[in-house]
Structure 1
Amino acid sequence: WDLVCDSQSLTSVAKFVFMAGMMVGGILGGHLSDRFGRRFMLRWCYLQVAIVGTCAALAPTFLVYCSLRFLSGIAAMNLITNTIMLIAEWATHRFQAMGITLGMCTSGIAFMTLAGLAFAIRDWHILQLVVSVPHFVIFLTSSWLLESARWLIINNKPEEGLKELRKAAHRSGMKNARDTLTLEILQSTMKKELEAAQKKKPPCELLHMPNICKRISLLSFTRFANFMAYFGLNLNVQHLGNNVFLLQTLFGAVILLANCVVPWALKYMKHRASQMLLMFLLAICLLAIVLVLQEVQMLREVLATLGLGASSLANTLAFAHGNEVIPTIIRARAMRINATFANTAGALAPLMIILSVYSPPLPWIIYGVFPFISGFAFLLLPETRNKPLLDTIQDEKNERKDSREPKQEGPSMKVTQF
């Protein structure tokens, strides 16, 4: 559509529209998924991405194209969240972290695949079709997916939940699943979850928990800062190097590597200190890009790749840390607030590059300052490594009480190396 000269800034607007769709999808997705189920929403989003993406390749005007991209963004966000929820709700506790990590690793593979496709297919209409049409096949084959048994049981559908559990047991090779899994056993096992689901919490409940509000605010700010930098790098590849295909491939590789490092980092590194260092590293890389001349393309690409790797690793660690500092009873609500701030940053990130008309370094300074400031915010959050998960508000109060009280150890409690 001749988006050059005075119309060049409209390319950033197109990116903003897609990210705004992801923001709206993040807000609506949780409510729709809780009401209609994870499997239904996941399949619906597969179909929506397929239809809207195919139509976008044939869009006659820029306005129609942006409208379709907005709808695609809504579906894309729900694809991610419902996939992660199904993995988390079906996997056993032993394999849950591994399943989510593997799910997040696919984003790195997708980056590299997209770079290869874009290098081979230079016509964007055909590229859009190649990326969108396979979703029709995925939609048809996704009928074998099972609905979350946990969601069915909590929503007073125990018979349907039992049916899905028996299907899962049969696929896993368990014999006599019909005799082993009964409605009585299921209800007794899920008694705690059912009682918690019956207690409806008012939306304003968080206002009466100042310490929880502080933690949610800090987590939301750090996610906002990280996503601002992440999408600032991700959506402005053409400003960082001449070979956008190579840079996109490097981004995918470093994201894949970062997600592979996550299990080790969670086990051996302090969560608060590691996130702080990663955010400072991200800020240094972004601010260093401002000082490097455009002619030194290789150094700019190295800095961008290193920064994106730090951002990706910090984001996954923040996801785990956020789950640990918020009690289970309000965790879903808190994570929804955090996701809203993260998606808002993702929507604003492509618009920041428009400021380069007034000053070329200005967008990169903004991208770098946010993670630098947010690095200090982790000092105000508690360290959670090797500590039990908080389940109730009382657990959080007990944690604060224990941290304030000095530990008085008598001689009989002291254990020496000898």
Structure 2
Amino acid sequence: MDPIMLSVKSTLILPSLTKRRHVQTAGHTIRKRQESLLYQNIRLHSHFQWDLVCDKDFLPGVSQSLLMAGFGLGSVIGGPLADVYGRRPTVIGSLILFNAIGLSVSLAPNFALFVILRHLMGGIFKSIRIPLINLMYEFLPPKHRPIMGLIPSLTTMLGYVLMTGFGYFVRDWRYFHLLIMSPCVILMAFSWFIPESVRWIISQGDMEKAEMTMQKVAKFNKATNFPNPVFSNNYSINAGNASSHSSQAKEGESDSTINDDKPKRQTGVQAAVALFKQPVLTVTVVLSFEWVAGTMIFFGFTLTTGSLAGNPFVNFILICVVDLPARILAILLVKKIGNIKPLFFGFFGAGVTMVMIAILPYLVGNIVIIFISTEDGESIGKVLTALAVLGKLCLGIAVTAIHLMVGELFPTTMRNSGTAVVHLIGNIGSLSTPLLLYLDKFFQGLSFIIMAVFAFTAMTISLILPDSRNTVQPETPADVQAMFDQKRRFRFGRANLRLAQYKGTDDGKLELQK
């Protein structure tokens, strides 16, 4: 599970307060008297302990935005660090810092220090997540990546459900934060058993260590008839084929590169610069916007669970659990029809539901405050809750396709740097969401209209990208160009002329016509 993502939502499963003189929340009354706040019979919550209500009710949103800004900082640092020093040391070092700072959050004496520590947690989290996800994909052959990519999503969903139960029984936010940090301590112990990426080792030219790592992995998995050695003495340094060599040795599959170009070792700066040259530039720009839209809408649905009609804990579980069928459906669709169609229709469905959430209360004859269940508006509140769950389902399908495409469209020589840039730019969406939702205080439903515009835009520009289904990961920018020429749904300019230079093969690779 992603403990920092649990922390993102830990302060949002209780209802937010408004500027009314008497506010009902969780069966307790909060009153304002003589410029002081009196909380009657309610357990400690960060909103209440630091009086983040009334004229300070915008500060929790600022806190969430700064946490998302930390995600952006970590994206800049984590990806290049993993490319230069390796995936394993980056993950282990980041986990140590993450646990130290995360445990300190529960001791924060004031709101300012609380915000600073959570900002640092967000940055370090990305230095853990980016290398770990890429490490997983780099050990897998193409046909297993979609299924295995589902596992992190399932464990994250399980973490959200457990967190909701913890939040129901543990209302003191300090003890609650310590509780949700406990999986991170366990993860740090297991991290020492994580092997280094064989692709990264080969890119450094250390064939002896690569061979040793492959044999250890084979022994741990009890592989039978595993070749020893895996790599011959004249093996060409090709960072992108570690998984294909291991799968070929075990299954007899052919998983070679798209063409015969071999990637050259690049520094972090060279890899970053190459991201902004064609054809990789198109991948960088489009996937970055897709990530902006995806994170904005994801947190838009999630951060409103405390104000949905009904029990906020039940709503939070519904919003999180719906990710399970969404991810499973997305994997089945990706394997059957490719990445682009699920991405397109997922954003379309999310956009439609957000438009309905924004305008439906105005169509029933009077202005009903969205997500607030009243005696007259109880039915519409339930409808809006159902629409939010449906929208999250559609978004989950689109986000799954985005995750797969980020790992499959960037060349091996710049994959971590490309992932880092996409995460960095994409965090604009998550950073802006809490403040965007604050606009509803001035015009109800405005935030969902804005997010719907982003959804429809992301839906449209997704057609620019090539479909990566049954295609091995590209090794060089030339391989990316071949994917555009062969696999793109809509082509412009000279693309159709270039297409004639390539032919497809049964195992998914592209080859130049002789």
Name the CA shift for 1:365/1:85 in 2 (closer, same or farther; >3 Å). Answer: same
Name the CA shift for 1:280/1:168 in 2 (closer, same or farther; >3 Å). Answer: same
Shift of 1:385: 4.7
* 1:20–1:70 CA contact under 8 A, matched in 2: yes
* 2:412–2:474 CA contact under 8 A, matched in 1: yes
Q: 1:192 aligns with which of 205, 218, 238?
A: 238
- Identify which range, 145-154 or 223-232, moves more after superposition: 145-154
- Equivalences for residues 257-272 of structure 1 within 5 A: 257-272=325-340
Matched, 1:224 2:292: yes
Q: 1:126 aligns with which of 164, 175, 185?
A: 175
- Identify which range, 126-135 or 59-68, moves more after superposition: 126-135
Shift of 1:265: 0.7
Counterpart for residue 354 of structure 2: 286
Match of 1:30, SS? Answer: helix
- Identify which range, 222-231 or 63-72, moves more after superposition: 222-231
Shift of 1:319: 3.0
Name the CA shift for 1:186/1:47 in 2 (closer, same or farther; >3 Å). Answer: farther
Alignment TM-score, normalising by the size of structure 2: 0.71
- Equivalences for residues 19-418 of structure 1 within 5 A: 19-174=68-223, 180-181=228-229, 185=231, 188-189=234-235, 191-193=237-239, 196-198=263-265, 201=270, 203-205=272-274, 209=278, 212-290=280-358, 291-292=360-361, 293=368, 294-295=372-373, 296-322=380-406, 331-385=415-469, 390-395=474-479, 397=481, 399=485, 403-404=496-497
- Give the Cα separation in 2 of the matches to 1:325 and 1:129: 39
Name the CA shift for 1:166/1:138 in 2 (closer, same or farther; >3 Å). Answer: same
Per-residue CA deviation, residues 87-142 of structure 1 (Å, 9 max, x unaligned), is 11223444333222212322221221111111121111111010113422331233
* 2:340–2:463 CA contact under 8 A, matched in 1: yes
Per-residue CA deviation, residues 16-44 of structure 1 (Å, 9 max, x unaligned), is 11111111111211011122222222222
Letter in 2 for 1:198: R
- Give the Cα separation in 2 of the matches to 1:27 and 1:199: 17
Per-residue CA deviation, residues 48-90 of structure 1 (Å, 9 max, x unaligned), is 2322222111100100000110111112223322221221122
- Give the Cα separation in 2 of the matches to 1:75 and 1:396: 31
Shift of 1:285: 1.2
- Give the Cα separation in 2 of the matches to 1:154 and 1:389: 15
Alignment TM-score, normalising by the size of structure 1: 0.86
Q: Kindly tell me the number of residue pairs found equivalent between the two proteins.
A: 403
Per-residue CA deviation, residues 217-255 of structure 1 (Å, 9 max, x unaligned), is 233222212221111112232233342211221122111
Structure showing the higher helix proportion among its residues: 1
| Gap regions ≥5 residues in structure 2 | 1-49, 241-261, 362-367, 374-379, 486-490, 501-514
Per-residue CA deviation, residues 129-179 of structure 1 (Å, 9 max, x unaligned), is 1011342233123322222232223223333333322322221224797x8
| Gap regions ≥5 residues in structure 1 | 408-418
Shift of 1:382: 4.1
Name the CA shift for 1:309/1:187 in 2 (closer, same or farther; >3 Å). Answer: farther
Name the CA shift for 1:160/1:383 in 2 (closer, same or farther; >3 Å). Answer: closer
- Identify which range, 280-289 or 318-327, moves more after superposition: 318-327
Name the CA shift for 1:189/1:70 in 2 (closer, same or farther; >3 Å). Answer: same
- Give the Cα separation in 1 of the matches to 2:283 and 2:387: 31
Letter in 2 for 1:196: P
Letter in 2 for 1:112: V
Letter in 1 for 2:219: H
- Give the Cα separation in 1 of the matches to 2:107 and 2:200: 39
- Give the Cα separation in 2 of the matches to 1:392 and 1:57: 46
Q: CA RMSD in A?
A: 2.9
Name the CA shift for 1:303/1:160 in 2 (closer, same or farther; >3 Å). Answer: same
Letter in 1 for 2:61: S
